[in-house]
Structure 1
Amino acid sequence: MTTTRYTHGHSDAVLRSHAWRTVENSAAYLVDDLAPGLDVLDVGCGPGTITIDFARRVNPGGRAVGIDTSYEVLMKASELAAVSGVDNVLFEPADVMDLPFATGSFDIVHAHQVLQHLQDPVGALREMTRVLRPGGVLAVRDADYGAMTWFPELAGLEEWRDLYARVARASGGQPDAGRRLLAWVLAAGFDVDDVDVSASTWCFADPESRAWWAGTWAERIRGSGVAERALALGYATREELEELAEVWREWGEQDSALFLVPHTEVRARK
């Protein structure tokens, strides 16, 4: 079992952020591989929005299974599936380092924003590959905090990034996972000829998305797992976290504000 601490935790602000994610905005690189009759495993599914989208796309005949380590978040995902009327999806607790599935159980194994939090991402990729059927697709997507950029260039946002990176690394993760994703997949045993690499970006620039992104991070820097760890490690005081939250609110109020979150995406055929 992994001992990696999930940096963000599962506060309301974090779950609201994760629930925004869909196949269209977070797994579009995988759309052409989804087809009726396929079985999909979604690793680190969170509140299940992407998983439920997968289930719709592999119906009829296919199924989507979402796993996470938090029972609370899995209950929310199951409730969302029921409300959405999607019945070919299952959510259950599991650890990516020791998946409770037989070898060759799935046609697609997917993980979004998961590897950046793991102490052993290569080991996780090997375990994900184990449960893939021959000819199946491993699909992973991760952001790169070091490559994020924004305007206006408020100094406080650089402080936020530096603090987040310190907390993430102290928790066993790698916040600049995006640039390492290809290397990890190759280290897990895939041949370069069987791997496709792409990139896509979340862009928060219109008034609605900008306000949402700023508000989400203002809340998270004050009360999520990031804040708790920063305080416990002595990396920041409560007052300093409040100041960073205010910087996020200030950024979000600017008509010219823009924030880019780059992601690397890797599809690997077994």
Structure 2
Amino acid sequence: MAQTSQPQRNTYFPGHQDVKHHQLRTAENCAAYLLPALKEKAASSPNLTLLDVGAGPGTITASLAKYMPNGHVTATDISDKVLQSAAAHAEQVGVNNITFQTGSVYSLPFPDDSFDVVHVHQVLCYLDSPVDAVKELLRVAKPTGSVIGICETDMRSWSFWPLLPALQRFHQIQMETHEANGGTNVAGPQLISWALKAGVRREQVRMTQGSWCYSERAEKEVWGASWASRARTGEVGKKALSMGLATKDELEEMAKAWEAWAVAEDGCFALLNGEILIQR
């Protein structure tokens, strides 16, 4: 059964004001590992149900929904404002089989055994108790025949060019402040471990590794602006100042370095993500 009370948990560290790059995400570039199983289930059970946890701006949610036109998607996030943006995006792209509901991954507002498919993208890496979150995902997934897809980053894997010292320093500060807020920089490699600790049998889990690579001017401008904002006025910069990791002048140098990276002809950025499918 769902827990009626929860201990105090850490917050979503970056804040929702510095996540414009999330709008670049789609099922195709962020959940390709899940799509074969989703297509198969949609073909055999057209009325299947899918839960997208931590849906953010809803770009992944809406593209997942298109693979199950006769099914129904429920999208959750901890922010009402973000879910309003997700609903507006779904309407804009003509997707009408999604319900939006505020909820925490630690205490999802749904009965046991509710969903055929559960999807989570870049949520567990921010949590101080990811195993508890996985247990909650398992609770709301149907005990037989369900699929749970989880994708989380390995923040150590950042790879970028030009190799500007200010960007290297920002990467280090990003990792230090992330862990100081209770998250982990090595979520991707731990996904099997977290699933096993949550009670999943090893034969039920299959892991892959995915990657992102951004080198086109338009997408770099989005990423560069988001990272510059995090350095100047976002939670990363504020945390770095409070921890004595950087001065305001140093953070401004990092922000300018991201802006320079965004317009550099030879600029690129890549990282690795761990992906698991839990099939019950």
| TM > 0.5 fold call | yes
| 2:234 alignment partner in structure 1 | 224
What amino acid sits opposite 2:199 in the alignment?
A: G
Paired position in structure 2 for 1:107? 116
Q: List aligned pairs for 1:120-269, cutoff 5 A.
A: 120-133=129-142, 134-269=144-279
State the match for 1:51 in structure 2. 61
Cα contact 1:143–1:177 (8 A) shared by 2: yes
Counterpart position of 1:117: 126
TM-score by length of 2: 0.90
Instruction: Report the number of matched residues.
Output: 267
1:17 aligns with 2:10: no
Normalising by the residue count of structure 1, what TM-score does the alignment of the two structures yield? Answer: 0.93
Give the drift of 1:215. Answer: 2.8
What amino acid does structure 2 have at the position aligned with 1:17? H
- Is the contact made by 1:9 and 1:226 (CA closer than 8 Å) also made in structure 2? no
- Secondary structure of 1:119's counterpart equals coil
- Could you tell me how far 1:229 is from its partner in structure 2? 2.8
**Alpha-carbon distance between aligned partners in 2 of 1:100 and 1:254, rounded to the nearest angstrom:** 46
Structure 1: state its 5+ residue gaps.
none
8 Å CA contact retained: 1:41, 1:108:
yes
User: Equivalent residue of 2:148, what SS?
Assistant: strand
4+ runs deviating over 6 angstroms: none
Equivalent residue, structure 2, for 1:30: 34
Distance 2:222 2:57 in 1: 18
Q: Out of 9, 14, 27, which is 1:8 matched to?
A: 14
- What is the distance in 1 between the residues matched to 2:274 and 2:16? 24
Q: SS of 1:28's equivalent?
A: coil
Structure 2 unaligned regions, length at least 5: 1-5
Q: Which moved more, 1:222-231 or 1:85-94?
A: 222-231
Equivalent of residue 71 in structure 1, options 73, 80, 86: 80
Shift of the 157–195 alpha-carbon distance from structure 1 to 2, 3 Å rule, reads: same
Further displaced range: 171-180 or 215-224: 215-224
